[in-house]
Amino acid sequence: MYKLTIRPLLFLFDPEEVHYFTFSLIRNLSKVPGFSKIIKLLYKVEDPLLQTEVFGLKFPNPVGLAAGFDKDAKLYQELSNFGFGFIEIGTITPVGQEGNPKKRLFRLKEDNAIINRMGFNNGGVKEAVIRLKKNKNVLIGGNIGKNKITSNQEAVKDYEICFESLYKYVDYFVVNVSSPNTPNLRELQDKEPLTKLLLALQEANNKKPKQKPILLKIAPDLSDEQLIDIVTIINDTKIAGVIATNTTLSREGLISENKSETGGLSGKPLKNRATEVIRFLHQKSNGSFPIIGVGGIHSVQDALEKLEAGASLIQLYTGFIYEGPQLIKAINKAIVAKQKL
């Protein structure tokens, strides 16, 4: 139904405007008595075989919503009704910021992809906290970043502010240094600044009565040498794991009209590279840390490939937009079926 009727209609309009319209629609419909129950019945798969424990957290199922969709923690409760096992909010920065000028979100229909150059547009960490205080049992990841005006030399402070503010209200943290849409941000992926940043966050974490898992989100555009550095950094800083991968700057093989737009590419064209990175990290680390696999999951097979490559959990974003909520259900049912073999 989604791909035949809803998606063609939504795809007639500007992607960013459709995003806000859809949020408003889901929020308003969820206030109608019985709507949320119907959505759960349609899409939620509840089975003990789906439950998985990763970095000390118990996930009801391994299929999550990636960061960037619910940037400001405005719809996590309603989105969880579609069957996601966890929702990652953000990227959140200490102070609200507009992000990059519009137009900044582009569909590549022929490639089943999206290019975005949003630029960490969000309302700031204080606003997110107000909304997260209302959380009713949704497992939440907090994806954190730095403000655009903050220099890389001062970046640690921004991440620490977000960590301290969100600590009580999220279940795990994601350090985003891999977005291509904030100037020079990816320089923080270099060994020295990244180690410094992660050690500072771990120090803050260790002062808490209970430590929260801290993960690192990395770009798919890293070389093998850089990926080996990532393995070393994770083992040295003892953070909980990795999210592989963020969007790519590569435009290889694209055929859509918007292929030359600046920004990060997500969707089907990213699938193979993201899986390669997962497999490489898993093998080189001897499985010493968990990996959340994300990038180009548009089918059950895509999801299973990520899990087989070494991911403990997976996330959807572009696949959710192109395939609809039926994809979440199909993946979870396939995982249950596989567990029963």
* pLDDT confidence tier of residue 30, bands split at 50, 70 and 90: very high
CA distance 340 to 136: 31
What is residue 298's predicted lDDT score, i.e. its pLDDT?
A: 98
Candidates 80, 165, 178, 179; catalytic one: 179
Q: Give the residue, 151 or 341, on which the prediction is more confident.
A: 151
What's the mean pLDDT in 69-78? 98
> Is 179 one of the catalytic residues?
yes
CB atoms near residue 227 (< 10 Å): 19
Give the residue extent of every domain in the chain. 2-340
What is residue 14's predicted lDDT score, i.e. its pLDDT?
A: 98
The percent of residues above 70 in pLDDT, for the chain, comes to 100
What's the mean pLDDT in 56-76? 98
What is residue 341's predicted lDDT score, i.e. its pLDDT?
A: 81
Task: Please write the tens of the pLDDT for every residue from 172-189.
Answer: 999 999 999 999 999 999
What is residue 77's predicted lDDT score, i.e. its pLDDT?
A: 98
Helix H or strand E segment including 101: none
Checking if the pLDDT of 340 tops 90, the result is no
Interior/surface letters 251-270, b for 16+ CB within 10 angstroms, e for the rest: beebebebbebebbbbbbbb
What is residue 1's predicted lDDT score, i.e. its pLDDT?
A: 87
What's the mean pLDDT in 97-115? 98
Checking if the pLDDT of 73 tops 90, the result is yes
Task: Please write the tens of the pLDDT for every residue from 223-272.
Answer: 999 999 999 999 999 999 999 999 999 999 999 999 999 999 999 999 99
CATH of domain 2-340: 3.20.20.70
What's the mean pLDDT in 294-316? 98
SS (H, E, C) 194-212: HHHHHHHHHHHHHCCCCCC
The percent of residues above 90 in pLDDT, for the chain, comes to 99
Q: Tokens standing for 271?
A: 């699938």
CA distance 40 to 84: 10
CA distance 287 to 123: 37
